[in-house]
Amino acid sequence: MTQTDYQIHGVNGPVVTVTGGRGLAMMDMVHVGVEGLIGEVVGVEGDVTTVQVYEDTAGLAPGQRVASTGAPMSILLGPGLLNRIFDGIARPLAVMADQSGPFLGRGLNLPALDLERTWDVTVAVQEGDQVEPGTLYASCPETPAITHRCLVPPGLTGKVTRAVPSGAYRVSEPLVEIADRRGKLHTLKLSQTWPIRTPRPFEERLPISRPLITGQRIIDTLFPIAKGGAAAIPGPFGAGKTMTQHQLAKWSDADIIVYLGCGERGNEMTQALEEFSELLDPRTRQPLMNRTILIANTSNMPVAAREASVYTGMTMAEYYRDMGYHVALMADSTSRWAEALREISGRLEEMPAEEGFPAYLASRLAEFYERAGYVKTLEGREGSVTVVGAVSPQGGDFSEPVTQNTRRYVRTFWGLDRALAYARHFPSINWLTSYSEYAADLTPWYDAQVGPNFAVCRRRLSLLLQEESKLMEIVKLIGADILPEDQKLVIETARLIRVGFLQQNAYHDIDTYVPLSKQLRMMELILRLYDGAKVRIDRAIPLSQIKETGIFDALSKVKYEAPNDRPEVFADYEARIDAALAAVDAANREQPEDGER
Amino acid sequence: MRLEYIGLSELSGSLIVLEGVSGVSFDEMAEITLDSGERRYGRVILIDGDRVVLQVFEGTRGISLENASTHFVGKPVDIALSKEMLGRVFDGAGRPIDGLGELFPDERRNINGSAINPVSRQYPRSCIYTGVSAIDGPATLIRGQKLPIFSGSGMKHNELAAQIVRQAKVADQDGDFAIVFAAMGVKNDTAGFFRRSFAEAGALQRVVMFLNLASDPIIERILTPRCALTAAEYLAFTHGYHVLVIMTDMTSYCEALREFSSSKGEIPSRKGFPAYLYSDLASLYERAGMIRGRAGSVTQVPILTMPNDDITHPIPDLTGYITEGQIVLDRELEQKGLYPPVNILSSLSRLMKDGIGEGYTREDHPALSNQLFASYSKVQDARSLASVIGEDELSELDKQYLPFGRAFEERFVGQGLLENRTLDQTLDLGWKLLTLLPRSELDRVDAKTIEARYVEDAWKSVLQPGQA
């Protein structure tokens, strides 16, 4: 190879032009300049190759050498990814801090995995075994709850010619040697590399059938997300996108969380790191970090690496999916990624489309969201990647290109609302603009696992909310006093739904995570009160009398008072509703005009 | 040997182009000497083979293709740093302009700084008391935070910033307080106002000032916040100061960036601002923070005037996406004569949730601020309803919200320019005003806290009975 001939010709921010040969391929990874900054080939025109550099380019000069690695941008995958925090191109930030201090240095070429650590490996094949893509050849406990399964990579079929005995090994030590059909030998280790822009293959896609349970009422009940699905959270600043993402990362019932901070605040990543290390996963009683991979490419880190970070995160998610795990990828925020595309596109002097974004914005978003899915893996297990992407629309205007294009490729849309956030209604998901196309797909699961009444309650709740919003139009014009009593009841019940059910306090011990069974019981309580009150109102008993019993206020506090693990307390609440309604009946019985009964 | 390139091949706006140059690196600084002996500074912003584009900080006025010679200094733009900076005044590019002579530098640092590794950050949790109720109560400032003031032309943002500087104190008094003040494109009057208020507060010896006034070269404005933040980081992380950085006016900074971008011929994005405005602003704002194992902190209070009071304009919009909250000033409150005219509902401090409450400020602080937000937002609903159907037609409950709204704005948000309220005063005042509402309306507070804090008719000690 003649790689030493390549040299820098020009520099424009993160974009570097390279001359000296025609051998560089698109998407090849290169090392640029004296410090060996990491870059990727994004264009070739005659003798001039264009490279985007993932680090600050100050100090690069024409004539400095550019070395090709001869391979596309790849990352090292293997045990030890969990419980770590990486930058956008999978360099471990903790190791970088050890080497270059609290401020990020440049040109550090660090492997994602700890090469010195030994793992307790069980080798699953022996000499003479036939293997094919997806065959398990070794496994090791990565964290107390997660077993790392090393599978024969795609494209490799053959016979095992050598296998080490089970024992303690480092990630780069050879474990198994395989001769393919042509007799060529391949060495398999605990680790493998994979190009980040190439989706990892699987056997087949399976239909969506299971929800990702998040413990957040408005999500699980009204706008559910499926395992293997894709959701978007658009919202203006301050509406709680990051907060919602953090809640999902903490409480959702995925096996593995990949949390991607793409072009966002440094302090938020620090907070996630601290919190996830302290909090315990409710299912495994392990620190949350033990099931989490953090990727931090904060807004002041190089813009090109921001563009790569979403692919890094997705590749890691797919890697664990292939082992048969349910992985949730939280990307905060995909708008920053799109803006990075725009910034680099501008430097490449490409023709802009809408609002300066490149014309390929939609296809890049589609490629990314389509990597989500519920699949049968090569090994034959079931695994999934669920993607939740935050979108930060300019000025909170959902008609901008990133939000609109994202909408086309996701099936759950949680629209955050500035007005709700100003009123400190959290999560500020607007129940009128949000939707979930998965609700119908998941109904069989809810029917079987939670009870057939769940879907009924969900529909009734959303109908009441819809009706309220229509009535509020009238109330805005003429005030609430004029409305007939049954419509007042709708407004009062909807208020109870909003305050007592949709609002959820992430800082409250009980309220931060609510199991589905309790969500159902809460809905049933609200509807029991509504139905009971409706009967009274039809008998011309005014709503104010029912309100005076304080039962509406009492129900709005259920979320704080009823423990998550004691469903029996709901019988008490039912009794209180009945008692309140009975008291209203009794008061009216004494009046002569009550002719019924 | 000192290598000089004589003459230029192109001039455009604040940019000059040289050809036949070798050995120059990206972002390197250059000295341009005119025939008159005048010296200007620039930096390399684009290299294409032997063609180099330089941005001249002082502008290109008076430069011709033949009267200038350029020398590349071999390193990026840096400034001299020393503890002696405290009490000194510099221009926008970090050169002393107070007539006290050059600084003896302890070290020189690249003004671009580098990103703090998220692993090395310390999550900010200690509060800075500003003595301003509208901030301390519902939008508490945390040490290491970046909390901008969104204002409009002619509103009292400078007064508010000066009051914060005068009154700010940290909860636990460890380490010294220092102020770095960066003025970008502000009027002479404004710079004078700040200098006077620092002097009145007896703080001049703790202040480092970087002044790029409205009449100063625009390109230098792009350096000003970087110089200021480099000085702040130096004081904080090398000398352990708690540094409060006031940057005003970020709008002028962004406009300078736009001017520079268009002269470079870049493809504009929204409202003509360059596509990298977000990344560029982030490279400034993200320099706030605390570092594990280092004593000091950098807290930023940038001030920006929203063009046409529009919070969705790209400058406030992108700022809000980067900063940890915002203090929004409101034209309507300003016109009512209220000071500080803080719009509580749109103001927010993202870091306060982890820095207030039991063990940090006072145990009832989170509940109170939540309740104030929720109740005040109902005031807005009642007002908009009243504007349609008239106050008399409101329900009894809605009617009670109107006096609460008025009292909250006048008594809680409003305060004197020199009034320094303790946190206890602020919180107690909030509880008293809440008693204008019936107990059952406090739906964000648990029963125990209501029991402890809600004293029937407590508002009478704050307001005259006739006012409610």
Q: Taking CA atoms, what residue in A is nearest to B237?
A: A102
Examine the fold and report which residue of B53, B76, B99 is the final residue of a domain before the chain moves on.
B76
Nearest to A36 by CA among A112, A107, A110: A107
- Interface contact flag, B321 A397, Cβ < 8 Å: no
Residue B467 lies in a domain: no
**Checking DSSP bridges between strand A118-123 and strand A230-234, what pairing results, if any?**
unpaired
Alpha helices (H) in B205-288, listed in sequence order: 220-233, 250-263, 277-285
Looking at the structure, do residues B455 and B315 belong to the same domain, yes or no? Answer: no
Examine the fold and report which residue of B354, B377, B394 is the final residue of a domain before the chain moves on.
B354
Can you tell me the mean pLDDT for B351-370?
89
* Domain harbouring B29, CATH code: 2.40.10.170
Contact (CB, 8 A) for A194 and A74: yes
In one-letter notation, the amino acid at residue A131 is V
Compute CA A534 distance to the chain's CA centroid, rounded to the nearest angstrom.
Answer: 41
Nearest by CB to B119, from A85, A352, A477: name it.
Answer: A85
* Alpha-carbon Rg for chain B in angstroms: 25
Looking at the structure, do residues B85 and B57 belong to the same domain, yes or no? Answer: no
Q: A residues 71-130 near B, CB within 8 Å?
A: 85, 93-94, 96-97, 100-106
pLDDT score for A595: 45
**Checking DSSP bridges between strand B107-110 and strand B78-81, what pairing results, if any?**
antiparallel
Contact (CB, 8 A) for B113 and B233: yes
Structure tokens at A576: 């209180």
Can you tell me the mean pLDDT for A553-576?
91
pLDDT score for B224: 95
Nearest by CB to A266, from B26, B286, B378: name it.
Answer: B286
Rounded Cα distance between B358 and B449, Å, is 13
Rounded Cα distance between A422 and B434, Å, is 18
| Confidence label for A223 from pLDDT (cuts 50, 70 and 90) | very high
- Interface contact flag, A481 B395, Cβ < 8 Å: yes
Q: What share of chain A is helix, strand, coil (3-state, %, to 5)?
A: 35, 25, 40
In one-letter notation, the amino acid at residue B136 is D
Residue A597 has pLDDT above 50, yes or no: no
Residue B391 lies in a domain: yes
Rounded Cα distance between A14 and A36, Å, is 14
In one-letter notation, the amino acid at residue B378 is K
Q: CB-side exposure of A10: number of CA atoms within 13 Å?
A: 18
Q: pTM of this prediction?
A: 0.91
Q: How many domains does chain B have?
A: 3
Residue B241 has pLDDT above 50, yes or no: yes
Contact (CB, 8 A) for B408 and B372: yes
Can you tell me the mean pLDDT for B24-41?
92
Looking at the structure, do residues B41 and B64 belong to the same domain, yes or no? Answer: yes
Percent of chain B with pLDDT over 90: 63
Give burial (CB, 10 Å; 0-12/13-18/19+) of A199: middle
Contact (CB, 8 A) for A218 and A431: yes
Contact (CB, 8 A) for B401 and B382: yes
Query: Facing residues of B116 across strands?
Result: A103
Looking at the structure, do residues B116 and B188 belong to the same domain, yes or no? Answer: yes
Looking at the structure, do residues B65 and B86 belong to the same domain, yes or no? Answer: no
Looking at the structure, do residues B350 and B401 belong to the same domain, yes or no? Answer: no
Chain A residues touching residue B266 (CB < 8 angstroms): 346
Contact (CB, 8 A) for A64 and A34: yes
Residue B148 lies in a domain: yes
Q: Taking CA atoms, what residue in B is nearest to A95?
A: B119
Q: What are A38-88's pLDDT values in tens digits?
A: 899 988 888 899 999 988 888 899 999 999 888 898 999 999 999 999 999
Looking at the structure, do residues B71 and B97 belong to the same domain, yes or no? Answer: no
B430/chain A closest Cα distance in angstroms: 17
Looking at the structure, do residues B284 and B392 belong to the same domain, yes or no? Answer: no
Compute CA A87 distance to the chain's CA centroid, rounded to the nearest angstrom.
Answer: 17
Q: Taking CA atoms, what residue in B is nearest to A264?
A: B322
Residue B344 lies in a domain: yes
Looking at the structure, do residues B62 and B85 belong to the same domain, yes or no? Answer: no
Structure tokens at A448: 């079987």
Residue B181 lies in a domain: yes
Residue B126 lies in a domain: yes
Examine the fold and report which residue of B49, B76, B103 is the final residue of a domain before the chain moves on.
B76
Residue B132 lies in a domain: yes
Chain B residues touching residue A396 (CB < 8 angstroms): 312
Looking at the structure, do residues B107 and B72 belong to the same domain, yes or no? Answer: no
* Domain harbouring B441, CATH code: 1.10.1140
What lies within 8 Å, CB to CB, of A508 at 6+ separation is A560
Query: Facing residues of B28 across strands?
Result: B76
Can you tell me the mean pLDDT for A558-576?
91
- Tokens 């200690």 locate to B126
pLDDT score for B172: 66
Nearest by CB to A271, from B123, B282, B291: name it.
Answer: B123
Range of the domain at B427: 365-462
pLDDT score for B381: 86
- Interface contact flag, A104 B115, Cβ < 8 Å: yes
B119 touches chain A (CB under 8 A): yes
Looking at the structure, do residues B64 and B87 belong to the same domain, yes or no? Answer: no
* Domain harbouring B191, CATH code: 3.40.50.12240
Contact (CB, 8 A) for B9 and B65: yes
pLDDT score for A508: 85
Residue B171 has pLDDT above 70, yes or no: no
Q: What are A366-416's pLDDT values in tens digits?
A: 999 999 999 999 999 999 999 999 999 987 889 999 999 999 999 999 999
pLDDT score for A253: 93
Looking at the structure, do residues B34 and B126 belong to the same domain, yes or no? Answer: no
Structure tokens at A441: 């797909």
Give the mutation candidate from A34, A237, A243, A474 for the B interface (greatest B CB count, under 10 A): A237
Cis amide bond preceding A509, omega within 30: no
pLDDT score for A367: 93
Chain A residues touching residue B22 (CB < 8 angstroms): 62-63
Rounded Cα distance between A581 and A530, Å, is 11
Nearest to B181 by CA among B204, B208, B142, B149: B208
Give the mutation candidate from B29, B53, B121 for the A interface (greatest A CB count, under 10 A): B121
Percent of chain A with pLDDT over 70: 98
Residue B436 lies in a domain: yes
Residue B390 has pLDDT above 90, yes or no: no
Contact (CB, 8 A) for A110 and A92: yes
- Tokens 């736009």 locate to B258
